Each structure stands twice: as C-alpha cells, then as structure tokens.
C-alpha cells in the first residue's frame, strides 16, 4: 500500500510517536484540562495496542475523537511539549485522532443494568453528550433533550464541516442509543415543558447544558438591515444566506474565523474581510484558525472599530495603540465596502430554559453554580458554556466530568 494509504498513515504516526520522550512528569499532560495520560497512550500506540490506546482516551474523555480535531493544541498539550524548545513538538493530536477514531469504529458498549435513577440532560452539545455517556455507563436512565433535530450543539450547528466532519457525531449517536439513552429532539425546555415538570415525572436530577447559542447584539446603527446577519445563525445553515460579492465579518474570535472561512467557500471567488479592533497579535482567535483563514484567502483589517453599518458597507474609526493602551480616533474614519455584514461578537445563554424553576443567574445571564455544578435549585446541575461562557470543548468536558461525579453522589445520597 502506498504512503497515502492506511498503512502509510499508521507508519507516519508511529514515527511521530517514537519521538515522544515519555517524560516522567509530562508537561503536555499537566497543561491538558483533562490531564490526558499522553505518554501511557503513546506507549500503547507504539506497541500496536491501538484499541487499548483509544479506550484509555475514551475513558478519560468521551469526546477525545472530537477534541483531537478542535482542541487548541498549541495552547495545551502540543504547546508545552519539551521537544518544542528543541525543534518540533510531538503532534499528539494526530495520534489521538487516529486512536480515538479506531476505537469509536470498533466500540460496542454493553448497556449496564439500571440503578433506579432517572436523570434529564437538557442540551445535546459537548457537555450534554459527555454527561449522557458518563451517567448511562453508571446505570442511570438518561433522557437527552435537545431543541434541534440532531445531537452535537455547536459541534453540529456551529463548527463547519471542513473543520469537523459531521459523520463523527453519527458515531456518538449510535453509542448513546446502545447505552439506552432516550433522545428527545425538537423540544425546547421553557416553552413546551419546564424543569419542574421533570421532577414531577420522577427524575432524580436535571442537568442543564444548553450552551450560549443566542448571538450578542452589537448595538450599532444599521444592525437591523437586511444584509446584516449573526455568525452563529449563519453557521447553522449557510445555504440559507445570499452574501453578494463582498462580505465583511466583524469580530476576531474563533467563531469569526469559521464564519469568514465558510463565507469564502460560499462566495467562490468573492472577497471576505475580517474587521478586528485590536492588533493582529492580540486577536482572540486561536492562531492556527486565523492562519488557516489567511490561507483560505480571508483579508484582515486590524485596529478598526465599526461605528455604523450601511447597506453598502461598514463605517469604521481608527484604533490607536500607544503605551499598551487602545484608544478610538473618531477623526479618522473609513468605509469598508460590503454587500453583506456578518457579526461575530460573542453569544449569550438561552435563559428561557429557567422558566418554571428558581435558578440563580450571574450578571451576564449565565447559570450560577459552585465548582461542582450545583445550582441554587436542589437537584438541578449545570455545566458547559451556559456556566463558563463560551469556552473550548475540552474545557466543557473537563467541567462536565466533575459535575457527573457530583450528580452521582447526589442521587446516591452521598
């Protein structure tokens, strides 16, 4: 088989795995939010125990096949590899992705005996999937409730397919089915049913992980114009939008990069410009994602602050950077021409899920919890972006694992 075939891929990863020093106190693991046992996994991989390597990853992180793709590795494991100081860091994420995919393709979990407790999981995003897997494996009868028709949340409706192939979510849906998780789609908690209804129906606990899918309003003149859209809505169904020849994306986070790269693909030759009010080096987007956007042909305009949206573009003022401080200069303005404007300035929670129960919220409208996910309502727990604000998938999984232990202890009276 040639080097582009499966055997070639394995051998390339094998050579990469051999580069790992298997540090006694691996900084890669220490800087992973999930403390993934990277040296142990790589030892199994090198020994040809790929399924065991994948099993080790899955036991620690049920979404390892996904975080291997979307995790900001340069900030976590790869960014702290000892070999980075001597050349190139070990690409652990590529090894993790292969082992995790192999494990999912061969994994057939047995449905454990029920322990007599029912738990409702609201939101089928990264936290909801993780919680459903962890508790179902402990014998809990899980109902996974989702406002849309498929599992995944931001993985399904926010991250473009060119970054995360959606067939991987089909594998997770199959695992949930085999574990006996009941999936309840197209159900919006807060209008159809309430959290209190669930306790009436015999649930021992309720876990809320609805994410932050509501786009933040910018508050600019022109925001209601027909050519202005929100990035989180655009990414849910790009085919529904007509962009024109020139598109401007306002924002500089990872969602902005996804929207810009998707717009490039829709325009097929048109021009896509990202407006960033900071310097290039201060952008909030992961550097890999912004570099990929540049490779895709996205144009970046830095240190510009939008002040008004027009039907033919965006009026911006200059942002001056001096002595470590940013300041707006309204005497210097410029109109950046555009047929379409996409706003990517953050998201907030869908607070309607609170209807029917008394759960305290923060000033930002996020759910208020302790470090173990307990809310102010007995038996109601929360995790993910609706608690932390928009974070990475790996951070959501790490928090959810802790909350799963908390729910288990609560239901068992520990």
- Three-class SS state of 86: helix
State the pLDDT confidence band at 3, using cuts at 50, 70 and 90. Answer: very low
pLDDT tens for residues 306-351?
999 999 999 999 999 998 899 999 999 999 999 999 999 877 666 5
The number of beta carbons lying within 10 Å of the beta carbon of residue 320 is 12
* DSSP classification of residue 79: G
How far apart, in Å, are the Cα atoms of 206 and each of 135, 255, 352, 398, 410? Answer: 12, 29, 16, 19, 11
pLDDT attached to residue 75: 86
Query: Which among 282, 285, 280, 225 has a CA at the least distance from the CA of 260?
Result: 285
Query: Which among 206, 402, 237, 251 has a CA at the least distance from the CA of 341?
Result: 251
- CA–CA dist 40, 24 (Å, integer): 11
pLDDT tens for residues 14-30?
999 999 999 999 999 99
Whether 34 has a pLDDT exceeding 90, the answer reads yes
Task: Give me 314's structure tokens.
Answer: 């965006």
Rounded to the nearest angstrom, the gap between the alpha carbon of residue 57 and the centroid of all alpha carbons in its chain is 18
State the pLDDT confidence band at 299, using cuts at 50, 70 and 90. Answer: very high
Query: Which among 262, 298, 277, 288 has a CA at the least distance from the CA of 345?
Result: 277
- CA–CA dist 205, 410 (Å, integer): 8
pLDDT attached to residue 270: 87
What is the pLDDT of the chain when averaged over all its residues? Answer: 91
pLDDT attached to residue 18: 93
Its CATH class, for the domain covering 118-214+347-411, is alpha beta
pLDDT attached to residue 359: 80
Least confident of 33-47, 120-134, 226-240, 379-393: 379-393
- The residues that bridge with 327 in the sheet, in sequence order, are 320
DSSP tally for the chain: helices H, then strands E = 15, 15
Asked if residue 338 lies in contact with residue 314, where contact means CB atoms within 8 angstroms, the answer is yes
- CA–CA dist 306, 57 (Å, integer): 44
Report the DSSP pairing between strands 304-310 and 313-322: antiparallel
Residue spans in the chain of domains classed CATH 1.10.1060.10: 6-106
Average pLDDT over residues 76-90: 89
- CA–CA dist 397, 408 (Å, integer): 16
The number of beta carbons lying within 10 Å of the beta carbon of residue 76 is 23
Helix (H) / strand (E) element for 271: namely strand 271-276
Radius of gyration of the chain from its Cα atoms, rounded to whole angstroms: 23
Average pLDDT over residues 113-138: 97
Asked if residue 403 lies in contact with residue 384, where contact means CB atoms within 8 angstroms, the answer is no
Average pLDDT over residues 345-373: 75
Q: Which residue has the tokens 């021409």?
A: 337
Whether 141 has a pLDDT exceeding 70, the answer reads yes
Average pLDDT over residues 257-280: 94
- CA–CA dist 298, 342 (Å, integer): 14
Asked if residue 266 lies in contact with residue 290, where contact means CB atoms within 8 angstroms, the answer is no
Rounded to the nearest angstrom, the gap between the alpha carbon of residue 258 and the centroid of all alpha carbons in its chain is 12
Rounded to the nearest angstrom, the gap between the alpha carbon of residue 295 and the centroid of all alpha carbons in its chain is 22
pLDDT attached to residue 273: 97
- Three-class SS state of 205: strand
pLDDT tens for residues 103-117?
999 999 989 999 999
Query: Which among 304, 311, 354, 360 has a CA at the least distance from the CA of 332?
Result: 304
* DSSP classification of residue 221: B
Domain spanning 217-343, CATH architecture: 3-Layer(bba) Sandwich (3.50)
Its CATH class, for the domain covering 6-106, is mainly alpha
- CA–CA dist 143, 94 (Å, integer): 33
pLDDT attached to residue 388: 85
State the pLDDT confidence band at 2, using cuts at 50, 70 and 90. Answer: very low
Phi, psi at residue 121, to the nearest 5°? -115, 115
Whether 352 has a pLDDT exceeding 60, the answer reads no
Torsion sign (Cα): 47, 170, 384, 262: positive
Least confident of 156-170, 255-269, 348-362: 348-362
- CA–CA dist 49, 271 (Å, integer): 48
State the pLDDT confidence band at 7, using cuts at 50, 70 and 90. Answer: low
State the pLDDT confidence band at 1, using cuts at 50, 70 and 90. Answer: very low
Question: Whole-prediction pTM value?
Answer: 0.90
Average pLDDT over residues 274-303: 94
pLDDT attached to residue 351: 53
Asked if residue 384 lies in contact with residue 121, where contact means CB atoms within 8 angstroms, the answer is no
Average pLDDT over residues 148-168: 94
Whether 228 has a pLDDT exceeding 80, the answer reads yes
Least confident of 100-114, 137-151, 210-224: 210-224
- CA–CA dist 3, 11 (Å, integer): 9
- CA–CA dist 394, 34 (Å, integer): 7
Whether 5 has a pLDDT exceeding 70, the answer reads no
- CA–CA dist 157, 232 (Å, integer): 8
Average pLDDT over residues 135-156: 96
pLDDT attached to residue 10: 59
Residue spans in the chain of domains classed CATH 3.50.50.60: 118-214+347-411, 217-343
């Amino acid at each position: 088989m040639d080097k582009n075939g499966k055997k070639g891929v394995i051998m390339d990863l094998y050579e990469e795995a051999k580069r790992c020093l298997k540090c006694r106190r691996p900084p890669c693991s220490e800087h992973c939010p999930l403390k993934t046992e990277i040296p142990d996994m790589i030892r199994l991989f090198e020994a040809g125990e790929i399924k065991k390597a994948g099993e080790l990853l899955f036991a620690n992180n049920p979404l390892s096949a996904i975080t291997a793709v979307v995790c900001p590795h340069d900030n976590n494991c790869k960014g702290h590899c000892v070999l980075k100081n001597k050349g190139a860091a070990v690409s652990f994420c590529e090894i993790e992705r292969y082992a995790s995919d192999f494990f999912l393709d061969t994994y057939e979990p047995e449905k454990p005996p029920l322990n007599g407790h029912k738990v409702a999981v609201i939101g089928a995003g990264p936290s909801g999937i993780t919680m459903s897997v962890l508790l179902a494996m402990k014998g809990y009868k899980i109902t996974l409730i989702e406002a849309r028709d498929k599992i995944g949340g931001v993985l399904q409706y926010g991250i473009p397919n060119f970054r995360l192939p959606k067939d991987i979510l089909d594998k997770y849906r199959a695992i949930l089915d085999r574990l006996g998780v009941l999936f309840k789609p197209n159900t919006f908690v807060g209008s159809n049913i309430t959290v209190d209804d669930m306790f009436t129906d015999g649930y021992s606990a309720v876990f809320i992980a609805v994410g932050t899918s509501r786009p933040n309003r910018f508050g600019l003149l022109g925001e209601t114009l027909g050519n202005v859209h929100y990035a989180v809505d655009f990414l849910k169904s790009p085919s529904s939008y007509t962009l024109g020849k020139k598109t401007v994306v306002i924002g500089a986070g990872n969602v902005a990069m996804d929207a810009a790269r998707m717009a490039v693909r829709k325009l097929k030759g048109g021009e896509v410009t990202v407006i960033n009010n900071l310097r290039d080096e201060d952008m909030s987007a992961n550097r890999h994602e912004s570099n990929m956007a540049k490779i895709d042909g996205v144009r970046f305009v830095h240190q510009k602050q939008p002040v008004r949206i027009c039907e033919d573009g965006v009026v911006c003022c200059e942002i001056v950077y001096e002595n470590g401080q940013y300041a707006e200069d309204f005497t210097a303005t410029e109109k950046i021409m555009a047929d379409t404007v996409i706003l990517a300035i953050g998201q907030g929670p869908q607070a309607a899920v609170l209807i029917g129960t008394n759960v305290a919220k923060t000033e930002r409208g996020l759910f208020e919890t302790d470090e173990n996910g307990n809310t102010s309502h007995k038996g109601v727990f929360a995790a993910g972006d609706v608690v932390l604000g928009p974070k990475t998938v790996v951070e959501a999984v790490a928090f959810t694992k802790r909350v799963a232990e908390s729910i288990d202890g609560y239901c068992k009276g520990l």
